[in-house]
Amino acid sequence: MNEYEILLMLDADVAEERQNEILTRIRELVERSGGNWVRDDAWGRRKLAYEIDKKTDGVYHLLELDATPETLAELSRILKITDGVLRHMAVHRVRSNQGPARAPESAVPEPQYAAANTRSPQQSNNEEG
């Protein structure tokens, strides 16, 4: 059993009952195949960065579940053909004992641009004269 997250974007124009039906169908598929439904984090209605099928808003849900790769493949297949689903993305969830994931620290020092762009008073006087 693997841990997965699915970011699901639903059409904001679809009725809330239909959105709940989609989520219920996903949950039932996961549980019927022996998986575990962890949680549904509803992010709500958000403006899209660009139009998708002439839609400017979407309703986002972050789904966390434990399932087999076969169940995830079937879930993705169903979400691709379901009316009301604009986009979805499934990723393998990795747990760490270090807390929330952070960007790695860079081993390369930051460049010092400020010192390179300043002029000494002597340089300024030479250019004016």
Residue found under tokens 């009301």: 84
Q: Give the other-Cβ count within 10 Å of 47's Cβ.
A: 8
Q: Does the predicted TM-score (pTM) go above 0.85?
A: no
Per the CB < 8 A criterion, the answer to whether 91 and 5 are in contact is yes
Per the CB < 8 A criterion, the answer to whether 85 and 11 are in contact is yes
Question: Mind listing the pLDDT tens digit of every residue in the chain (129 residues)?
Answer: 899 999 999 999 999 999 999 999 999 999 999 999 999 999 999 999 999 999 999 999 999 999 999 999 999 999 999 999 999 999 998 776 655 544 445 555 555 555 555 565 666 566 655
Q: Give the other-Cβ count within 10 Å of 125's Cβ.
A: 10
Per the CB < 8 A criterion, the answer to whether 64 and 41 are in contact is yes
Residue 121: which residues within 8 A CB-CB, separation 6 or more?
A: none
Domain ranges (residues) in the chain? 2-92
Architecture of domain 2-92 in CATH? 2-Layer Sandwich (3.30)
